[in-house]
Amino acid sequence: MAAFALSAALHAAPIVAEGVADMDAGSPAAREMAIRDALQQAAISNGAELQSLQLLDSGNLSESSVLSAPSLQGKVKILQEYSSDGMYHVRLSIDPQASAAGPVGAAPQPAQNASCGMPAGRSLRRKLLTTYFYVVNPAEANDLRNLASSLPAELARRLRQQNRFDVRNAGHLTVLSNMAADEPVAGWETVRELGRREDVQFVVAGRVLSTGVVGKSLRHTMYESNNTSQQGAYYTGPLAGLFGGAFKYAASARQFDLEVWVYDALTGAVLADQRISRIAQGKVVAQLPVDFATAAFWQGDYGKVVDALLDQASRQLVDVVSCIPLSAKVVKVEDGRQVFVNVGGLDGMKVGDQMLLYKPRSAQIVRSGGGVRELGVPEELSGTITITQVQPNFSIAQVQSARLKVEEGDYVRFMTRR
C-alpha cells in the first residue's frame, strides 16, 4: 500500500506538495522518485513522518510502502505530472482526513494490508524464514515438549496456509548469540547472513517469555499421587487425608507470553517487535507431558488459548510484511541488458510485470553513532526491468532503463501500476 503518515496535530485542509526527479533512469523510475520526493517535501514542511498512504491516481487506488512509526493515515491524489528538460515533475495533494480507516469516530475496519502492493486478482508471495524461539523459563514448560522448535514450525504452517508467503522453517537456527539477554536489534548481522544463505526477504524469531501458572485453586483428589513435577502443590493440613482423599492446589490459570520479532533480511533491521500474552482458565497443566502443537495439546484448555494467540501472532505478522513490496535479487546478467531474478511463477510473477531496479552501495554502509553497528545499506534507484520469461523459481527480464551498471547482487522490487 502506498502510505503517508502525519503527526496527530495535523487535522487541517489537504496538503499540496511537488516533487521532481531526473529521467536518467527512465520515466517509470523517475515518476516513482518524483512521488517520493513530493511526499518527503510534505513531511519535512509539516513535521510529519512517512508511514503509509493510499495513492489515488486517475480514479484508481494503488499502493506502495514506507515503514515508520504508526500515525494518522491520509489519501494522496496526483494532481499533475509532466516531463520537461529531462526532469519528471509530480504535483499531489494529501488529505489527512480521508484515512483508509474511515471517518474519525467510525468503527475500525478490517485490515486491508493483505492486498497491499498486489495486482488485482494475484498474490505475490514473499519469502520468509522462521527460526528458533527461546524459552526463557524452561522449567515452566516441562509439560510442553519441543516448544522452542515446534513453535516456529507452527507459525510457518499457519503462514503457508494463507498462500501469500513462501515460508521456510529453520527452528534449529538462532538470530541472537545470547537469546536470554540480547535485544532483538543485536541480531542484525546474523539475520543478513540468513537472508543471503536462505534466499529470503524476511526472518522471524522470538522468545517465549512465560508459560507459568498465574492462578491456583483447591480441588479434591482421590488416591492421587503427590506428583511434584506438576505446577501445583498438595494441601496437607487438617482433614487432608480424610476418606483416602486429599485437597490439591491445582493450576487453574496459566499464561502464554510471547515476543515475536520480524526482520528485514536485506538490512537486518527490526521491522516489528511485538508482545502477545493471554491467560487460559481451566485445566491448564497436563498430567503427562505432551508435544507442543499436536492434536493432544490443542484439545486442552491451555492449548485452545494458545491456538488463538498464535492466530493473532500470524495476523499481526501478515500486517507487518504485506505492504512491503516484493523484493528479489539479480542472480545473473547477460550482455548487460538481460537479467535473471530469483522470483518466478511460484512467487506470482507474470510476463510483462515491471520491477524497479536498485543498486546497493555496500561501500557506504550506514553505521550507528559509535561506528560499531551497521544500520543498513544505502540504495540508489537505477531504472526498471520488464519480465519477459517466467520459470517456476526464476524469471528472465529485459532492462528497460538503467543509469547505473546492472550487476549480479543488485535487487528489484515489484512496481505496482499507479
In the block, residue with C-alpha cell 508482545: 275
- Cβ atoms of 348 and 127 closer than 8 Å: no
Residue position matching grid coordinates 504485506? 322
Q: Give CA–CA dist 317/311, Å, rounded.
A: 10
Per-residue model confidence (pLDDT) at position 105? 38
* DSSP H or E run through 257: strand 245-264
Q: Which fold has domain 327-414?
A: Thrombin, subunit H (2.40.10)
Output the pLDDT for position 370: 54
Distance (Å) of CA 288 to CA 34, 212, 231: 63, 16, 12
198 has pLDDT over 70? yes
Task: Say which amino acid occupies 170.
Answer: A
- Tell me the domain boundaries of the chain: 5-115, 126-215+249-321, 327-414
Q: Look up cell 499540496; give the residue.
A: 16
Contact 89, 130 (CB under 8 A): no
Residue 143: Cβ within 10 Å count:
20
pLDDT (tens digit per residue) in 279-333? 999 989 988 899 999 999 999 999 999 999 999 999 999 888 877 888 899 999 9
Cell numbers linked to 223: 488416591
Q: What average pLDDT does this structure show over 229-250?
A: 55
Given the DSSP bridges, would you call strands 53-57 and 72-84 parallel, antiparallel or unpaired? Answer: parallel
Q: Which three cell numbers stand for residue 308?
A: 488463538
Q: pLDDT grade, residue 5 (50/70/90)?
A: very low
Rounded to an integer, the average pLDDT of 165-179 is 93
For the 126-215+249-321 domain, the top CATH level (class) is alpha beta
Q: Span 71-79, mean pLDDT? A: 67
Beta bridge partners of 210: 257
Give the pLDDT band of residue 240 (cuts 50, 70, 90). low
Residue the block writes with cell 484448555: 301
pLDDT interval class at 336 (50, 70, 90): confident
Q: What is the DSSP string of 388-399?
A: EEE-SS-EEEEE
- Helices 147-161 and 301-321, axial angle in degrees (round to 10): 60
CA angle 115, 73, 21 (to 5 degrees): 85
**Cβ within 8 Å of residue 312, ≥6 positions away:** 276
- How crowded is residue 335: how many other Cβ atoms within 10 Å of its Cβ? 7
Mean pLDDT of 220-224: 54
Residue 58: half-sphere exposure toward Cβ, Cα within 13 Å: 3
Lowest-pLDDT range of 142-151, 175-184, 220-229: 220-229
H or E element that contains 191:
helix 188-198
Phi, psi of 52 (to 5 degrees): -155, 145
> So what's the architecture of 5-115 in CATH?
2-Layer Sandwich (3.30)
Distance CA(61)–CA(299), nearest Å, equals: 44
User: Higher pLDDT residue, 27 or 150?
Assistant: 150
Which pLDDT value is given to residue 138? 94
For residues 190 and 117, the model is more confident at 190
- Of 43-47, 104-108, 335-339, 355-359, which gets the smallest average pLDDT? 104-108
Please tell me the predicted confidence (pLDDT) of residue 340.
Answer: 97
Q: Is 199 helix (H, G, I), strand (E, B) or coil?
A: coil
Q: Which residue has the higher pLDDT, 110 or 29?
A: 29
- Span 111-119, average pLDDT: 49
CA angle 385, 388, 389 (to 5 degrees): 130
Q: Which residue has the higher pLDDT, 46 or 193?
A: 193
Amino acid at 200: V
Burial annotation 251-273 (CB, 10 A radius, 16+ → b, else e): bbbbbbbbbbbbbbbbbbbbbbe
pLDDT band at 61 (very low <50, low <70, confident <90, very high): very low
Give CA 348 to chain center in angstroms. 19
Residue 14 DSSP SS3: coil
pLDDT score of 122: 76
